[in-house]
């Protein structure tokens, strides 16, 4: 006899899911909390960067008046007038407020070394840095992920041992040392590539000639940068593939008759890419500041070389501006990775 009481009806209805609109509301609310949490963390990090930039470079960069008057003697009255012009006669708190206001509005002040607005110098040097670091990051990520996936899939093989050993040797080598070796071999001995700068004097002004000349100068810096950083992506991708190798879905794919390379490429690699998202976004964030040593070795006219030159001057406003720029790009890149994780990883949505 079937129980048709109201309590039985409620018991049968209990396992049913919430209405779609209620589930959607929970997801939206969870994402809002998740987003607010990470945006708040990024904002706190940026404030710490602003504080650090203001105080650290006041400790290590010395007195700006001494830097500005190193080439000509000035009277005490002139020193005080220069101090007042730069706002250095104001209390430290007022100086910090002026610095904070200027930084947030894009007014980084005037460079002591170049006597020009810092914003203009950054805009002028940024394309060279993006060209070098952007090309190097793309090559390093593609090369590292491709080799790492194949090495992890063939764990213990000769290919795996060779690639891991080579990658770790290059990763542990100092960037300036690899750069000098590249210069000695490919520029001095074989005379295949130029050594310094981004352009050769006397190159015709047409677009094709300029592009070929810049590409010729770009080869050695990009190869040096790529050789140093690609091993990091190789090792992370290899580790991710090793974690996926014993999964049941790969056994099912093999049972369907797929070739081993197809199983790796179409099933293992897409799932192994999830743990590498943060690494990729960090690489994107480091495009602006990731080639400081490479730019210095090859005299590449980018932001990295500008930063090193500002250290030796020292140019306090320039150091502050570049430190904030380098740090903020990394913070924003990590924030973007955290947001993307919400959409790609169901475990994060369930936890929120």
- DSSP letters, 20-33, are HHHHHHHHHHHHHH
In a domain, 312, yes or no: yes
Residue 16 in any domain: the answer is no
Between residues 279 and 187, the one the model is more confident about: 187
Judged against a pLDDT cut of 50, whether residue 119 lies above it is answered with yes
Is 14 part of any domain?
no
Total count of residues recorded for the chain: 352
Is the CB of residue 262 less than 8 Å from the CB of residue 143? Answer: no
Examine residue 7 and state whether it is found in any structural domain, yes or no: no
Position 111 in a domain: yes
Kindly indicate the confidence band of residue 202, based on its pLDDT and cuts at 50, 70 and 90: confident
Q: How many structural domains does the chain have?
A: 1
In the chain, what is the straight-line distance between the N-terminal and C-terminal CA atoms, in Å?
Answer: 45
| Cα→Cα distances 119→106, 113, 125, Å | 7, 14, 10
Q: Is the pLDDT of residue 17 over 50?
A: no
What residues contact residue 254 under an 8 Å CB cut-off, 6+ apart?
260, 263
Is residue 39 included in any domain, yes or no? yes
Retrieve residue 35's tokens.
Answer: 């987003």
User: pLDDT tens digit string along 120-153?
Assistant: 999 999 999 999 999 999 999 999 999 999 999 8
In a domain, 5, yes or no: no
Asked whether the predicted pLDDT for residue 330 surpasses 60, the reply is yes
How many angstroms separate the CA atoms of 114 and 32, rounded?
A: 46
Provide the pLDDT for residue 184. 93
Q: Is residue 2 part of a domain?
A: no
Output the DSSP codes for 200-224. Answer: -TT--SSHHHHHHHHHHHHHHHHHH
Q: What are phi and psi of 70, to 5 degrees?
A: -70, -25
H or E segment and range at residue 132: helix 118-153
How confident is residue 191, by pLDDT bands cut at 50, 70 and 90?
confident
DSSP assignment, residue 191?
A: -
For residue 142, what pLDDT is reported?
92
**Alpha-carbon distances of 135 from 1, 56, 180, 267, 321, rounded to whole Å:** 75, 32, 20, 28, 24
**Whole-number pLDDT of residue 148:** 92
Q: Residue 54: name the closest of 103, 113, 16 by CA.
A: 103
pLDDT of amino acid 2: 45
- Cβ 323 vs Cβ 117: under 8 Å: no
Task: Using the predicted structure, report yes or no on whether residue 55 has a pLDDT greater than 90.
Answer: no
Mean pLDDT calculated for residue range 17-22: 49
pLDDT score at 302: 92
Q: Using alpha carbons, select from 240, 231, 242 the residue that is nearest to residue 153.
A: 242
> Domain residues for 205?
24-351
What is the pLDDT at residue 288?
81
Q: Note the pLDDT of residue 301.
A: 92
Nearest to 337 by CA among 256, 281, 286: 281
Q: Does residue 313 carry a pLDDT above 70? A: yes
Q: Residue 208 belongs to a domain with what CATH number? A: 1.10.3720.10
**Chain-wide mean pLDDT for the chain?**
83
Residues 149-181 pLDDT 10s? 999 988 889 999 999 999 999 988 888 899 999
Closest alpha carbon to 146 in 35, 272, 250: 272
Q: Does residue 252 register a pLDDT over 60?
A: yes
Place of tokens 């080598």: 173
Residue 156 Ramachandran class (φ > 0 left, ψ -120 to 50 alpha, else beta): left
Please say if the pLDDT value at position 305 is more than 80: yes
Instruction: Quote the CA–CA distance of 319 and 324 in Å, as a whole number.
Output: 9
Let me know: does 130 contact 214? Beta carbons within 8 Å. Answer: no
């Amino acid at each position: 006899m079937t129980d048709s009481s109201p309590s039985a009806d409620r018991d049968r209805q209990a396992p049913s899911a919430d209405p779609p609109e209620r589930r959607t509301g929970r997801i939206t609310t969870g994402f809002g909390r998740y987003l607010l949490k990470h945006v708040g963390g990024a904002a706190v990090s940026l404030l710490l960067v602003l504080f650090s930039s203001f105080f650290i470079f006041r400790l290590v960069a010395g007195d700006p008046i001494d830097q500005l008057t190193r080439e000509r003697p000035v009277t005490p009255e002139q020193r005080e007038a220069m101090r007042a012009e730069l706002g250095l006669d104001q209390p430290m708190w007022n100086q910090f407020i002026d610095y904070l206001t200027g930084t947030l509005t894009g007014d980084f002040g005037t460079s002591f070394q170049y006597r020009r607005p810092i914003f203009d110098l950054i805009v002028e040097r940024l394309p060279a840095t993006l060209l070098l670091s952007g090309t190097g990051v793309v090559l390093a990520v593609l090369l590292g992920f491709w080799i790492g996936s194949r090495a992890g899939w063939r764990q213990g093989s000769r290919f795996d041992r060779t690639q891991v050993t080579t990658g770790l040797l290059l990763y542990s080598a100092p960037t300036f040392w690899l750069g000098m070796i590249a210069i000695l071999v490919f520029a001095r001995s074989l005379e295949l590539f130029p050594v310094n700068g981004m352009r050769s004097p006397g190159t015709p002004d047409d677009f094709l000639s300029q592009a070929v000349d810049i590409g010729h100068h770009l080869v050695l810096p990009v190869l040096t940068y790529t050789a140093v950083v690609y091993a990091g992506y190789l090792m992370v991708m290899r580790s991710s593939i090793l974690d996926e190798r014993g999964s049941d879905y790969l056994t099912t794919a093999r049972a369907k008759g797929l070739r081993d390379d197809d199983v790796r490429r179409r099933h293992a690699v897409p799932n192994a890419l999830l743990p590498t998202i943060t690494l990729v976004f960090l690489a994107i964030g480091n495009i602006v500041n990731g080639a400081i040593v490479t730019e210095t070795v090859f005299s590449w006219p980018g932001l990295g070389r500008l930063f090193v030159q500002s250290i030796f001057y020292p140019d306090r406003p320039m150091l502050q501006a570049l430190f904030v720029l380098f740090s903020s790009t990394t913070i924003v890149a990590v924030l973007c990775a955290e947001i993307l994780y919400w959409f790609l990883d169901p475990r994060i949505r369930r936890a929120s």
